[in-house]
Amino acid sequence: MNWNDEEIRAGIEHCFEDAEDIFLVDVSLNASRGGYQLIAKCDSDSGITIDQLARINRSIHNNLSLPGLDIEKVSVEVTSPGASFPVKLPRHFNRLAGHPMKIEHRSEAVQTPLEGEIVSATAELLTVKVKGDVVELEMADVVQGKVKMRW
């Protein structure tokens, strides 16, 4: 069977209701040998503990609701932000204010990818400091950002 992204999201969003300020960022369900692998990427404005991830994992495994899906054939993986986690939401960018990022976008007025330090983000606008200048991007044009590691 094939489920679209909205059906998959709807099938697990109720599993986050008791998860304090943790929210679902992205979810995918992929066929694997003899079953499926569900990967749920979640985040929090205040950080996530391993115990919280484990509780969400159990909740998804116990409460996943997709018509025609045998939960016994599903491997559930719940992940949280890390160095390779793409930033897409204004609340992610705000939490990372002051950090250097590489930002992919669709704006033709600014080079892509844009590399700079996050200043702030709203639902409409992302503000980035690039070599002393302030650059503003429409959030609708932002594809994703990735934190640049300082070594």
Q: Do 48 and 101 reside in the same domain of the chain?
A: no
- Same-domain pairing of 143 and 108: yes
pLDDT higher than 70, residue 150: no
**Do 55 and 109 lie in a common domain?**
no
In tens, the pLDDT along 102-111 reads 999 999 999 8
Q: Give the Cα separation of 126 and 105 in Å (integer).
A: 11
Residue 112 lies in a domain: yes
Total of domains in the chain? 2
- Spatial separation of the C-alpha atoms in residues 9 and 40, rounded to whole Å: 9
pLDDT of 136:
95
Which structural domain range is residue 130 located in?
90-147
pTM over 0.85: no
Predicted confidence (pLDDT) per residue in 38-72, tens digit: 988 888 877 788 888 888 999 888 888 888 888 88
Q: How many CA atoms lie within 13 A of 10 on its CB side?
A: 7
- The per-residue pLDDT for range 13-27, each reduced to its tens digit, is 888 877 778 888 888
Burial class (CB in 10 A: 0-12, 13-18, 19+), 43: buried
